[in-house]
Chains A and B, each alone.
Chain A
Amino acid sequence: MYVHLSQTANNLVHKASKALIVFDPAPVPKFLLVVTDDLDVVPLIHVSVFHVPSLKLEKIFSVNAPMMRLDPDLNGDISEQKLVFYGQQKDQNCCFLFIIDLENERGRAQVFPDFRHLVYIKSKNRMVSITTRGWVQSKTLEEMEVEALNHGETIFDGRTDASWVLENWKKLLYVPPSFLPSYESGFAVHAKGEVAYVSDLGKRLVQISFKW
């Protein structure tokens, strides 16, 4: 679906509550994406594609979203014409992931209960998560897409009827409860096989290496 700037009317302009800008990763970017959430009535994620450097709106489309409030900590990356868009609802110990096909304007969403953090490692094309129970685990995007295709929907909410989204993660390491990330800490993953965060114990930096 295409919408042109000539159709602008002030009273139709939506105020984005949460937004993320993602540049085309090419050395000379040809486009950028603006991703916004819209949880009124029908939850949607809007993706607007703007030409760079003119900022001409090239296209805009929406994908269905699960009913959940997003934290402002939104993350996105583009890999092989797909937008990997993820974040969390921290107070619910819940993470979400959208894999959005920019060419075909389709997307699938997964919601992961009991996930503390979710990180995309582009060089590995893997998602890495840490659960509330302390498991650091990973799954490839290909595996996720195959699983999603097999279930034939667009939203897979592990909080309700799609608990399979929690299965088939490869366990990388276990963090005992005392050394879990503190509530206020983010979570970083290095592609060489290392995680970093600020732990509960004394609020100090923890780095743990692992094998993929």
Chain B
Amino acid sequence: MAFGPSKLGLKVMLAAVHVPLLEEDSPYSPILSIWDIDELVMIANVPLNLEGLDDSFCLVDWVGFSEDGLSVHCGVWKYDIVRDKTTVEAEDLRELVGEAEAITLSPDRQRILRLDRSDSRVLVSTNFADDVTFNKPQVYTVPNDAGANLLPSELEYRRHETTPLYWWQSWWEVTRSYKFSADSRWFARFTARNSVVLYDLKQQTEVEIAQPDDSWSNILINNLAFDTESKRLAWTFNYVDHNKAHDTRIELWSTEKLSSIGGFSLGRYGWRDRIAFCADHNHVMTFRSGIATWDVNLPSKFNREVIEVETSVISGFGITEYSIRVGYFASDVYLLYPDKRSGKHILQAFRRRTGTRKLLFHSAAIGSNHWWFPWTSDGKIVAVADTTVDISSDNMCRKSLAVPASTITTAFHLPGSLLACLQQTEATTLHLVCTTKSEELATSQCMYIFLKRLII
């Protein structure tokens, strides 16, 4: 989609190229529609045909108005709004397309990317002087493209699914894996190794500008985007890091400085958000299951600052797990989360006046899932499972309590210095312990089936 130029005396127009999906095996038959936004009326709705190229199609991944607002360009087509006439603006189109199943064009129509049924892709220029050949990257096909929070296992399965529409995978590949800049000088693509290669089509050079970290797995490319001035390239991808942390990142590259200008994490692993630059190029928009705008300078700046105060960063845990407990004790925020590397747990305090404090501790009772054990605090002590932590001073002191084996949950009564434990072995037994003397005060067995039978 594209808006028309904002000029005095010109109507505000919106153009969109869309493909009707009327049947299960709908062909790729794009339609250009144009609306007069001032009057809210459609002023054009024209099919975009390729005469004489029955077996090939031109994928439209950009659309734009001419500067005078009188015509719309997309793919190989030009639509004259005044004359209501569509023309194909490529000479020797059949020769340019060659044996390709699909093509897509640079905005200046001087470059054509050919896609055929093999993995090979060829970027040719209209003078056939400097072809660029490469293999297509892995293309993940999620037929309905609707699932948020898809886990890697689901995506691994779905990547082998076949799409019901024969042209869908090519469209997906073109819109996700490649991008021409608006001035047609640059062409960026993801590679089969999940790196990013940038071609300077004017200087006829190519450089691999980003490589994935060796420790990453399950890398899923989302898409690439240039800003309208062709000064910045952004791309986004999902990955799982060496800590099994699932994340989505946006990276930015300056075509002026030919260097990285930062990047930041979004979380939201399964969202498969795509990105586009906003009119203000300091913001990118992510879109798919939701729409959000991101100040690209802010998180990059934030990242640099956070590195200096590393203790405030929450990292190093498997984020697919529901693993971070958050609570207010007095006026401070406390987090409890597992440390995957040590197998212990971290209690982290965020104190407004004195900063962050961390305590790494082992708990025999908690095991891998702390959610079975509610925590409590009186503002001086934090108690969870078999552990109490004195939080009254900057140096958090920990005390471990003996609880029975196979304890499934506990509760503390801090004013009364009491700990109750529910133990599950052959029977379910409740224990009451004095926390100051570490002395068991009483036990009792619990039973429920008997009650249920009476009720039923």
Binding site for B on A (CB under 8 A): 1, 3, 5, 7-10, 12-16, 19-24, 27-29, 32, 34, 36, 38, 40-42, 44, 46, 48, 50, 52-57, 60, 62, 71-75, 90, 176-178, 182-190, 192, 194, 196-205, 207
Contact = CB atoms under 8 A, between A and B. Distances in A.
Contacts of B326: 185-188, 196-198
Contacts of B416: 23, 27-29, 52
Contacts of A90: 322
Interface string B341-384: 00000000010000000000000000001011010000000000
B422 A21 contact: yes
Contacts of A182: 267, 319, 324
B448 A36 contact: yes
Contact of A73 (B267, B319, B322): B322
A6 B450 CA distance: 12
A190 B331 CA distance: 8
A205 B350 contact: yes
Interface stretch (B50-58, B180-188, B426-434): B426-434
Contacts of A201: 264-267, 299
Contacts of A1: 451, 454
A99 B34 CA distance: 57
B55 to A, nearest CB: 43
Contact of A203 (B265, B371, B415): B265
Nearest to A42: B456
B142 to A, nearest CB: 19
A190 B456 CA distance: 42
A36 B335 CA distance: 26
B374 A74 contact: yes
Given A196-B328, A202-B265, A34 B374 contact: no
A14 to B, nearest CB: 4
Nearest to A25: B413
A124 B290 CA distance: 33
A183 B446 contact: no
B452 A62 contact: yes
A203 B422 contact: no
8 contacts: A20-B409, A21-B410, A32-B411, A34-B446, A72-B369, A184-B321, A190-B331, A205-B312
B445 interface: yes
Given A21-B420, A62-B452, A184 B319 contact: yes
A92 B303 CA distance: 32
Contact of A177 (B149, B290, B320): B290
B197 interface: no
A188 B327 contact: yes
B391 interface: no
Interface in B408-446: 408-413, 415-416, 418, 420, 422, 424, 426-428, 430, 432, 441-446
